[in-house]
Structure 1
Amino acid sequence: MSDTTENVWSPTLRWLHFGLALAVTLQLFLSLVMEEPGEAEGLETWAFMAHELFGLTAFALALLHWGWMLGGHDGGWRHLFPWDRQGWRAVWRDLSGLLRGCLPEGGPHPGLPGLVEGLGLVLVTLQGASGFAIFLLLPPEGGLPERFEFLSELHEVFGSGVWLYWFGHVGMALLHRLRGDAVVARISPFKSR
Structure 2
Amino acid sequence: MDTKETRHNFFTRLAHMGLALATITQLVTSLIFVAPSPGKSGNIWYEIHEYGGLTAFGFVLLFWLALTARRLGTAPGLLFPWFSGPSLRAVWSDTKAHLAAVTRFRLPPFEEHGALASAVHGLGLLLVTAMVATGTIYYFINTGNSDAGGLVGVLMFVHKTLANVVWAYLIGHAGLAVIHHFTDNLRLTEMWSLKP
Is the TM-score greater than 0.5?
A: yes
Whether 2:149 is the aligned partner of 1:146: answer yes
Distance 2:146 2:87 in 1: 49
Change (3 A) 1:7 1:152: same
Q: Please point out which of 49, 56, 68 is paired with 2:66.
A: 68
Alpha-carbon distance, 1:135 to partner: 0.3
Letter in 2 for 1:99: A
Task: For 1:64 and 1:103, locate their aligned partners in 2 and report how far apart those are by CA, in whole Å.
Answer: 31
The Cα of 1:118 is off from its aligned counterpart by 0.4
1:37-52 alignment, distance < 5 Å: 37-38=36-37, 45-52=43-50
* Structure 2 unpaired stretches of 5+: none
Percent sequence identity over matched residues? 27
2:110–2:180 CA contact under 8 A, matched in 1: no
Structure 1 unaligned blocks of 5 or more: none
Structure 1 CA distance, aligned partners of 2:26 and 2:178?
A: 21
Match for residue 173 of structure 1? 177
The answer to whether the Cα contact below 8 Å between 2:33 and 2:44 also exists between their aligned partners in 1 is yes
Query: In the alignment, what sits opposite 2:124?
Result: 120
Q: Distance in 2 between matches of 1:180 and 1:93?
A: 21
Residues 156-180 of structure 1 deviation map (CA, whole Å, 9 limit, x = unaligned): 0111111111111111112112322
The answer (yes or no) to whether the contact 2:30–2:49 under 8 Å persists in 1 is yes
Question: Are the aligned partners of 1:81 and 1:115 in contact in 2 as well (CA < 8 Å)?
Answer: yes
Query: Alignment RMSD, CA only?
Result: 2.8
Change (3 A) 1:81 1:143: closer
Are 1:133 and 2:131 counterparts?
no
Give the partner amino acid of 1:75: T
Distance 1:7 1:157 in 2: 34
TM-score by length of 2: 0.81
Deviates more, 1:67-76 or 1:127-136: 67-76
TM-score normalised by the chain length of structure 1: 0.82
What is aligned with 1:185? 189
Give the length in aligned residue pairs.
187
> Are the structure 2 counterparts of residues 181 and 145 from structure 1 closer, same or farther at C-alpha, using a change threshold of 3 Å?
same
Q: Show the counterpart of 1:12.
A: 11
| C-alpha contact 1:9 1:186 (8 A) present in aligned 2 | yes
Deviation at 1:91, TM superposition (A): 5.8
Give 3-state SS (helix, strand or coil) of 2:26's partner.
Answer: helix
DSSP-derived class of the 1:136 partner: helix
